[in-house]
A and B are shown apart, each in its own frame.
Chain A
Amino acid sequence: MKLRRMAAVWAAKAAQAASVHIFHRQGVTWAGKIALRICPDILRELASQVRGDIFIVCGTNGKTTTNNMLCAALEAEGKKVVCNHTGSNMLNGVAAAFVLAAGWSGRLDADCACIEIDEASTRRVFPYFKPDYMVLTNLFRDQLDRYGEIDITMNILKEVMQSAPDMKVIVNGDDALSAFLAMDAGNPYITYGINEKVTDDSGVHEIREGRFCKKCGAPLRYEFYHYSQLGVYECTECDFRRPDIQYNASDIEVGDHLAFTVEGRRITADYRGFYNVYNILAAYTAARASGLELPHFNDMLAAFNPENGRMERFRVKETDITLNLAKNPAGFNQNISAVMQDETLKDVIIVINDNAQDGIDVSWLWDVDFDRFKEANVNSVTVSGIRCQDMRLRLKYVDIPSMLEADVEKAVCERVENGCGNLYVLVNYTALFSTRNVLKRLEEEK
């Protein structure tokens, strides 16, 4: 078995190196696929060599940021961590994370693992190993053409939770869907959340999931919403209510930086976006739940640079560019809020693709509150990507005129040339990688 494992590791490393050098791609999923083909048991074997805890991160939004942040938090405390940093989160990507971290001997030297897993792929990954912790960030409407309704995702997650009854679920208690799932599955669970009202979301008309109790079907009553369906809720009929929050963030500041207090400690970060409070809090809770004191948590945040197109900054000629992923209504609405927190004049480019990984159905664009751009001090909007026509129409029906340029590089160059010097590029999933490559190249070219 050992030889086979070594062969799998060598082949995967070679495959990844080749694909990086020859195709300039990350080649992660390819490497995972090859390793599993050569040694089908490799994921089970390598996962069993992790000395300490295995964390997995699931949920519609925030997986990659939370997972990478958790990894960085563990590393800051001196742990050796296996992590699928690039966000390749299906079976092959998960296998690749372990295989590429293994030594040439085919053995893994790791204290813990932080692995994000696509919700639908959990069923394929769980047979190989049972995690110690699952972080469940939230459940929003996303890619209905791929996953079907949220109910289907919830059924899958419940099934895998019950297949690992000792796994502790670290759950966002502000999400009625996630909280219900954690309670319903019967696993031990630990909650994080925000008890205080932070934002005024009266201008937001987004469609909210979870308006009805998953337990009895009666309407839920919300004291307030943070955003989407995240908030403080209870059932109008049965005993289902928001669980007590064990890791509560209070005294929250949201603006050109973030700050909050948890367990009496002030946490600060130089990011924008309210949703990042949840990402930081989730990573903090997971690491604390595993017993770490986290004395270096703030230092980790100060140095944390996701470099993955989540609020990533570039500078091309005289223009500051912020790239951000937005792949479903909940994420996009949060993105618009983050853009609005920058009160200076800005240009916006929206890039929408409809490749398989994006979800080939672009109806969700109509569930995003784009009309809020009217109050966002926006100089111009350019639509780009494969489905730029749909995006242009979406804006037309809220009376926002836009320029159309299907080619992302041309769209960016035009704004760098003629724009106001502050550019936001909001992209969905497959557009992220191509757009990021374009921005990196333009930045280096100057």
Chain B
Amino acid sequence: MENRETNKTRKITIGHLYPDLLNLYGDRGNIACLMQRCIWRGIGAETVEFELNDEIDFSKLDIVLLGGGSDREQMIVCRKLKDIRQAFKDYVEDNGVVIAVCGGYQLLGKYYRTEEGMIEGLDLVDLYTEQGEGRLIGNIVLRSDLFETPVVGFENHGGRTFIGGNSPFGKVLHGYGNEENSGCEGVVYKNVIGTYLHGPLLPKNPQVCDWLIARALERKYGSGELEPLDDSQELEANRYIYERFVK
């Protein structure tokens, strides 16, 4: 209870990039989850939505969320990305926290090559994506080195992502992941998580949500300690998926 007092002065700002374009598959759930889990702990939380032509001051952001969009919409975003690339890269190298989902994950890399053309990425993480035969769709369960609780979600992507020597977000226990046969899903680079998991990702994986919040607090205030919450409903929903598809 004693960190109640310090909580009052702690606050994080979430930057939601281009929700007008990248808003497939319940990204709002990820924002709601980040916000509520701060608010329930008495940590101030604010979300700033950036539209395509807005200036982004990364020094004012503690967590950046880059969501998914259709290929067409991703193409529109990618034209804009060149303008923010350097500032975004500086933020990442300075341990800025990023959660990039689906299309957002693909945009972290060098490029996404589709039948219709090349979508140039942000080149924040050394990875690339190629369109494959058919889409990889279904429930997915991972074991991540970052957490004890498995990570559960839903994937739906036509791209196959190659992460080279980077660490994956997790090992695939059920589902596809980065490509059909790699056995790996997503990427973790510094405080960046890139993943195909939506569903949305964070509500059924409070451990991932808290990891993001903790990293952001650590970077900003030097300590990422978090008061525990009653996660029984979250964990029950997580366990349901795990048991249905893995056990």
Contact = CB atoms under 8 A, between A and B. Distances in A.
A129 interface: no
Contacts, number: 76
Contacts of B156: 144-145, 361
A317 interface: no
B237 A393 contact: yes
Interface string A349-367: 0000000000011111111
Contact of B29 (A145, A389, A397): A397
B138 A360 contact: yes
B76 to A, nearest CB: 6
B72 interface: yes
Contacts of A367: 26, 28
Contacts of A293: none
A14 interface: no
Contacts of A360: 137-139, 154
A149 B70 contact: yes
Contacts of B25: 144, 361, 363-364
A397 B209 CA distance: 13
Given A151-B72, A397-B203, A366 B236 contact: no
Interface of chain B, main secondary structure: mixed
B237 A363 contact: no
B32 A393 contact: no
B199 interface: yes
A27 to B, nearest CB: 29
A207 B23 contact: yes
B36 interface: yes
A115 B13 CA distance: 51
Interface string A142-169: 0011001111000000000000000000
Interface in A191-225: 207, 211-212, 217
Counting chain B residues whose Cβ lies within 8 A of the other chain, the interface size class is 20 to 34
Interface residues of A, number: 26
A343 to B, nearest CB: 28
Contacts of A390: 204, 237
Given A360-B139, A361-B25, A151 B240 contact: no
A149 B20 CA distance: 15
A326 to B, nearest CB: 16
A396 interface: yes
Max chain B C-beta neighbours (<10 A), residue from A151, A217, A361, A362? A361
Given A145-B137, A151-B72, A398-B32, A363 B204 contact: no
A394 interface: yes
A226 interface: no
Interface string B178-218: 00000000000000000000111001100000000000000
A364 B237 CA distance: 16
Contacts of B138: 360
A366 B26 contact: yes
B59 interface: no
Nearest to B36: A397
A76 B38 CA distance: 59
B159 to A, nearest CB: 13
A392 interface: yes
A145 B135 CA distance: 9
B23 to A, nearest CB: 5
Contacts of B234: 393
B78 interface: no
B33 interface: yes
Interface in A317-357: none
Contacts of B32: 366, 397-398
A217 B52 CA distance: 13
Interface of A: 144-145, 148-151, 207, 211-212, 217, 360-367, 389-390, 392-394, 396-398
Given A360-B137, A362-B199, 4 more contacts: A145-B156, A366-B200, A390-B204, A397-B36
22 contacts: A144-B24, A149-B70, A151-B72, A207-B28, A361-B25, A361-B199, A363-B26, A363-B29, A363-B154, A364-B25, A364-B26, A365-B29, A366-B28, A366-B32, A366-B203, A367-B26, A389-B237, A389-B240, A392-B233, A393-B203, A394-B203, A398-B32
